[in-house]
Amino acid sequence: MFNSIIKPSLVLLLVAFAASFSLSHIQKITYPNIIKMEKEKQDLALKLVLPGYRITGSKKAKVEGKEFEYWTAEKEEGGTAGYAFMVAGNGYSGPVESIVGIDDRGTILGMSILKQSETPGLGARCVEVSSKETLFDKLLEKTARNEIYMPWFQKQFSGLNSGEKIRILKKGEWNEGLMESLRKENAVLAITGATVTSVTVTESIKNGHELLKKALASGAEKKEAGK
Amino acid sequence: MNYWNEFTKGIWKKNPILIIGIGMCPTLAVSTSVSNALWMTLAATFVLVCSNILVSLARGITPSHIRIPVFIIIIAAFVTIVELVLKAYQEAVYDALGIFIPLIVVNCIILGRAEEYASKNNVVASTLDGLGMGLGFGFTLTVLAFFREILGANKLFGYTLIPGMEPSSAMILAPGAFFTLAIMLGMMNWINSRK
């Protein structure tokens, strides 16, 4: 009785208790930093997706029963409105969360992927920075650039129309020269071997645009009703 | 017991990937770039050494029929520590490795060493075994990643090697990992047969 039931249970309890006790301490130490990093990432992303705009407010609305987070912004010169919103879509191995900035006509000003758990080397390349300098340049210290590069996959979205379907083209590796022709077709270049990720991102942007329209419309209605 | 042997066996004679043939999933998935491979090695070796130590310490009090749950709790605790620490202080790495950090819990090298070795040997031997196995895993992973990154992405450590050259995307996908692994295994057998 003791050896077959009580002892194993006690050992298991002890091990589980010790594990959760130590983990709770580690969690306590790391949690503030994790929150800080996430906040920093979001602030940086907001600035990145709304270049030249000033954030005027952050709002949370319920659209179709779902929580929808968006920000209103104003152009620093001119005063036209801009919006940023959070969207999520189901990628190949989990949700892909991105933040998108658009102007009042629905043109994407910038987008940034905040969270993704796609396959390294494939879908995870949606956050890959296309670096022009070669390893030899780096070793020979030919270039000493410290700028923050925008990942190439995300850069393609600026200038596209978020209200229409964003198409996906497969033309091999990305380079700066392709931008012009892609923009004409309202299309982005797919990530090689990770079409699912590319589709997820483009579709989530389109859905987000529609949600934003609904959220703004319902917000306006409420204002009307309140008057 | 020869401690030196316990340490070195994981690197060549009992290399977890090439000889025992376990831990294939992370091997295929994270060997796409050298920096991913090195961080994965660091994370997995940390978990392997720590879990080996604790499993070895707990081997006297663990009834044999509940040993697997006990091992898994120990391993999962260390993996969570790695995950939290990376998330807080090395976010770029956490983002790059993604799901493969929490998946270290089910890495069969770690559970395999706990079951086969650490639960039967003393703490010093288990630590050395964990270190050796971690290095063997890391060595294989890094060599694999070295070839896959050069051929599959035309890069090394994230920097382009030959500007304008189109890399072979088959190398960055799973088949490329199998090809490279097969060649490595062939080389290893060739070297061993010459002795």
Tens-digit pLDDT profile for residues A22-46? 999 999 999 998 888 888 878 888 8
**Residue whose C-alpha is closest to residue B18's, from B149, B103, B143, B105:** B143
Q: How far apart are CA B27 and CA B142, in angstroms?
A: 10
Domain ranges of chain A: 50-226
Q: Which residue of A has its CA nearest to B166?
A: A173
What is the spatial distance between Cα A205 and Cα A223, in angstroms, rounded to a whole number? 27
What mean pLDDT do residues B179-189 have? 90
- By Cβ distance, the residue of B88, B163, B169 closest to A37 is B88
Tokens 């942007």: give the residue. A205
Per-residue buried b or exposed e for A68-101, using 16+ beta carbons within 10 Å of the residue's own CB: bebbbbbbeeeeeebbbbbbbbebbbeebbbbbb
- B-chain residues within 8 Å CB-CB of A173? 166
Closest CA to A204 of A66, A20, A80: A66
CB contact under 8 A, A37 and B87: yes
Q: What is the pLDDT of residues A6-16, one digit of tens each?
A: 888 888 999 99
Report which residue type is found at A163: G
In terms of C-beta density within 10 A (0-12 exposed, 13-18 middle, 19 or more buried), how is residue A227 classed? exposed
Contacts of B89 in chain A (CB under 8 A): 30, 33
Q: Identify the CA nearest to A11 among candidates B68, B78, B117.
A: B68
Q: Which of B80, B155, B180 to mutate to test the interface with A (most CBs of A within 10 A)?
A: B80
Over residues A86-130, the pLDDT tens digits come to 888 888 888 888 888 888 888 888 888 887 777 766 777 777 765
Closest-CA residue of A relative to B30 is A120
Q: At residue A146, does pLDDT exceed 60?
A: no
Q: Is the pLDDT of residue A145 over 80?
A: no
List chain B domain ranges: 3-194
Give the 3-state secondary structure of residue A135.
Answer: helix
ipTM for the complex shown? 0.76
Whether B89 and chain A come into contact, CB under 8 Å, resolves to: yes
Q: Are strands A81-90 and A66-75 parallel, antiparallel or unpaired?
A: antiparallel
